[in-house]
Amino acid sequence: MISQLEKEVTLRYLNTRKKDGFLNIISIFSFIGISLGVAVLIIVMSVMNGFRTELIEKIIGFNPHVVIKPYEKSINENLFNNKDLNILSNTFVYSNSGEGVLINKSYTKGILLRGYLTDDFKKLSIVKSDKFNGNKKIIPKFISIGKELSFNYNIKIGDKILIMSPAGVQTIVGNLPRQETYIVDSIFDSEISNFDQNVAFINLTDLESLFDLKTTKRNLEVYLKNPKNIETAKKKLEKIFENYYVYTWSDLNKSLFSALKVERNVMFIILSLIIIVAAFNIISGLTILVKNKTREIAILKSIGVQNKSIAKIFFMVGFLIGTLATLSGIILGILFSYYIENIREFLSNTFNISLFPEEIYFLSNLPSEINFNSILIIAISSILVTTIVSIYPAVKASKMNTVKALKYE
């Protein structure tokens, strides 16, 4: 318990006087340093969480959530009636893919072709998007290309392009690569440049003919009701399709998300150092406070105030500075994270600079996702650091020799 005397002395020491000007400056800098450290940490974590979420949304909006690939035999359609499978998903489509070369006028380009049946193509999220332009059915001899590919090579809807396959055709002059001409029927926009430049869709029967693939080798794409909970879903699907190879959107982008995770952890450690450095100012401030209050400490001891009460007083001074600074930083960090896009727009318009170029990040606005679990961890860490650094000066004050203190005063 904290006595009334301890409360009053603590509040008095927090309210420094004019003669304690240097001490007041140290306290202010400690408060500001911890507040800014906590705020910056929350803002950076929120932006990185938002960026990761936006990236996941775009990846799962373009790629299949799970792909079931046959080894020898074709996929057993009786498994589609599995109860656990229907809980996870209600959308299954057949597909296959192959790498070819796009030839148009004076240029060539490597391209990944993904094939779907006519009715299955319109089930894809990318096709349902408002940014999809053209026919939503992929019929034979027609092709759907990305916005970036269309822009970079000046290909429009209705143009013809030639696709060359590595699969050979036997002719009188020997084995030649197979070639087919396709008419551009639609243009999609995934908002990720790498996809838009390097992927195109054609009819599945056309793809099998172009790459000489068997119908028994068709993949099954599974679109989950909750694609973000991918690891749990993968384990269940591996049990259902135990005789097939199962991989997910997470497996295809593992290196990217591992890099983001490492970057996030490193940023957390680096920015936490700001809080630690600011917290160590509390040691300086409290040590000077103990020195300045030598006479008062001696008087308190002489009237019977116990050592543990002296320690408690100085500990509470450091603890309150750290706690109030942490709370202030949390409020500042949350407000900044919530209005970060408005702040970006204001700074961009005021100083005529581009703080978050869309052509580089492929996001129309600055993403931010406030995670209250992260804020709780940051708050606990900050208060814990300030609590630890407040112990030494408090103990030092409690062990002060009363007789020597009064003698030298």
| Overall pTM surpassing 0.85 (yes/no) | no
What pLDDT shows up at residue 308? 82
What pLDDT shows up at residue 333? 92
**What is the Cα–Cα distance from 298 to 308, expressed in whole angstroms?**
14
Which tokens hold the place of 80? 């589609």
Backbone φ, ψ for residue 157 (5° rounding): -60, 130
What pLDDT shows up at residue 355? 66
- Number of C-alpha atoms within 13 angstroms, CB side, residue 78? 1
Cα-Cα-Cα-Cα torsion 156, 158, 164, 167, nearest 10 degrees, comes to: 130
Q: What is the mean pLDDT of residues 196-211?
A: 92
Q: Is the confidence at residue 22, as pLDDT, over 60? A: no
226 by Cβ neighbours in 10 Å (0-12 / 13-18 / 19+) ranks as exposed
Q: Is the confidence at residue 197, as pLDDT, over 60? A: yes
**pLDDT, tens digit (0-9, with 9 covering 90-100), for 342-358:** 888 887 788 777 666 65
* Contact call for residues 196 and 189 (beta carbons, < 8 A): yes
Q: Is the confidence at residue 103, as pLDDT, over 80? A: yes
* Contact call for residues 274 and 29 (beta carbons, < 8 A): no
**pLDDT, tens digit (0-9, with 9 covering 90-100), for 352-394:** 776 666 555 556 677 888 888 889 988 898 888 888 888 887 8
pLDDT classification of 316: cutoffs 50, 70, 90: confident
**What is the Cα–Cα distance from 24 to 20, expressed in whole angstroms?**
6
Helix/strand/coil (H, E, C) string of the chain?
Answer: CCCHHHHHHHHHHHCCCHHHHHHHHHHHHHHHHHHHHHHHHHHHHHHHHHHHHHHHHHHHHHCCCEEEECCCCCCCHHHHHCHHHHHHEEEEEEEEEEEEEEEECCEEEEEEEEEECHHHHCCCHHHHCCCCEECCCCCCCEEEEEHHHHHHCCCCCCCEEEEEEEEEEEECCEEEEEEEEEEEEEEECCCCHHHHHHEEEEEHHHHHHHHCCCHHHCEEEEEECCCCCHHHHHHHHHHHCCCCEEEEHHHHCHHHHHHHHHHHHHHHHHHHHHHHHHHHHHHHHHHHHHHHCHHHHHHHHHCCCCHHHHHHHHHHHHHHHHHHHHHHHHHHHHHHHHCHHHHHHHHHHHHCCCCCCHHHHCCCCCCCCCCHHHHHHHHHHHHHHHHHHHHHHHHHHHCCCHHHHHHHC
Q: From 187, 203, 225, select the one nearest 92 (Cα to Cα).
A: 225
Q: What is the mean pLDDT of residues 241-259?
A: 86
What pLDDT shows up at residue 142? 94
Computed over every residue of the chain, the mean pLDDT equals 83
Q: What is the mean pLDDT of residues 164-191?
A: 80
Which tokens hold the place of 32? 């500001």
**What is the Cα–Cα distance from 398 to 409, expressed in whole angstroms?**
17
* Contact call for residues 199 and 207 (beta carbons, < 8 A): no
186-195, 254-263, 295-304: range with lowest mean pLDDT: 295-304
Range 286-299 burial, b when 16+ CB lie within 10 A, else e? bbbbbebbbebbbe
**pLDDT, tens digit (0-9, with 9 covering 90-100), for 147-174:** 989 988 888 999 999 998 887 666 665 5
Q: From 61, 161, 40, 35, select the one nearest 109 (Cα to Cα).
A: 161
* Contact call for residues 254 and 117 (beta carbons, < 8 A): no
**What is the Cα–Cα distance from 93 to 218, expressed in whole angstroms?**
10
Cα 192 to chain centroid distance, Å, stands at: 16
